[in-house]
Structures are given as C-alpha cells and as structure tokens.
Amino acid sequence: MKRRNVGRPRDGDPAETRRDILRAAEESFAAAGFVGATTRQVAARAGVNVATLHYHFGNKERLYRAVLDAAVAGDVPEASKASSPADRLAGVVEALWNLGWSRPSLARLSLLHRLAGPGLGENGAHEPLDDPRAALLARTIADVSVGGGATPEDTARFVLTLLDGALVAARNGDGADAPVPEAPRRAVVAAALEVTGLG
C-alpha cells in the first residue's frame, strides 16, 4: 500500500491551489495583518484544509513572506533623467501612487507589516519589507535631494509610509475600479518634495 503525505492535494491543479491559497492569504493578511490572520481562516477562504496550506507553504510565516513577495513583485516605474529634480521626484511619487492604487492590498500589507510583521530586528523594529518601491524612492531621493539630516533610505521609508497611509485612507473601502483621487495624491507629492528640500 502506497502512503500519501499528509496535506498533499489528492486531485486538481497544485499550481491553482497554491494561487488560491495566496489570494486568500493576501485578503486575510491585508485585513488583519500577520498577527490577526490565522491559517485556519486562510484555508477556509481558499477552500482547502490547513494541511494542504502547510503542504504548499510550510507555515504561516512562509505563507506571509510569499504574499509579501507577490504583492511587491512586478515592474516599478523609473524617473526621467531629463526633468528637474522636483519633477523627477514628483513623477516617481505619482507613479508609485498609481501603482498602489492599482494594487489595493499592497498599501495595507506594507503598513501592517511595519506595525506588526513577524520577527523583530536588533533595533526592536520589524524586519523591513524588501520593497522595490522603497529602493526606487531611495535612489531618486539620493539623486535629487538638496541634503538634510536623514539618509535617502530613511526618507524613502517615511515617504512610502505616508504614501501607503494616504492610499489606504483615500480608498476607504472602494473597489479596485474606483477613480484615482487627485487631492491626496497631490498632498503626498507635496510632502515628499518638502521632506527632501525640493518643495
């Protein structure tokens, strides 16, 4: 008699099962964060049992990391080198706003990770999300900034937190097809220019 692994899917497409679990986990983590979401909730939302979830992802933290990786994956816009420093930074922040608006859970996942993600680093803060948006902002700020006390990386994290918070507040439960609001986008751009000394 052949022995089966516990939790291994018996039928169906394993890649589709994995995508269903990731989708359900993204919804759960975006709603409740790492601490508030449970693997039971995710499994129920995905229509699988907990053993199947563990078969595909191992544990809650690996599932969470897979969700974060998927949320920040994809192309991140670049700034034009031909424009003024203020226009370059404004263009990047606007492009990141539009990217965040098109991915409704990205801003919530990012903010909740900063507040209560798994694992604390040496300085007592949660380990940073490996977010290409922050890397783009830091590069752009380093190129255009007129100086100041904070490093480009710290300034980028501040601007990204402001951007994510404004996206969550502006969306206020609206669906993915809601029109992009202009006032909060302009306010985030103005704040980014101010903190970099370009405003």
pLDDT on residue 126:
55
- What would the pLDDT profile of 53-84 be if each residue is shown by its tens digit? 999 999 999 999 999 999 988 778 776 676 78
- What would the pLDDT profile of 129-169 be if each residue is shown by its tens digit? 678 999 999 999 998 876 667 889 999 999 999 999 999 99
pLDDT on residue 3:
43
CATH 1.10.357, domain 75-195, yes or no:
yes
Angle (nearest 5°) at CA 198 between 195 and 104? 55
- Higher pLDDT among residues 36 and 82, named by residue: 36
pLDDT on residue 29:
95
> What is the average per-residue pLDDT within 16-43?
95
**164 closest CA partner among 112, 121, 90:** 112
Domain ranges of the chain: 14-71, 75-195
Mean pLDDT of the chain: 85
DSSP alpha helices (H): ranges in the chain?
14-36, 39-46, 50-57, 60-72, 85-102, 104-116, 132-144, 152-171, 182-195
pLDDT on residue 121:
54
- Higher pLDDT among residues 78 and 181, named by residue: 181
% residues pLDDT > 90 (the chain): 57
pLDDT at 118 over 70: yes
Beta bridge partners of 99: none
pLDDT on residue 4:
42
Global pTM value: 0.82
CATH 1.10.3720.10, domain 14-71, yes or no:
no
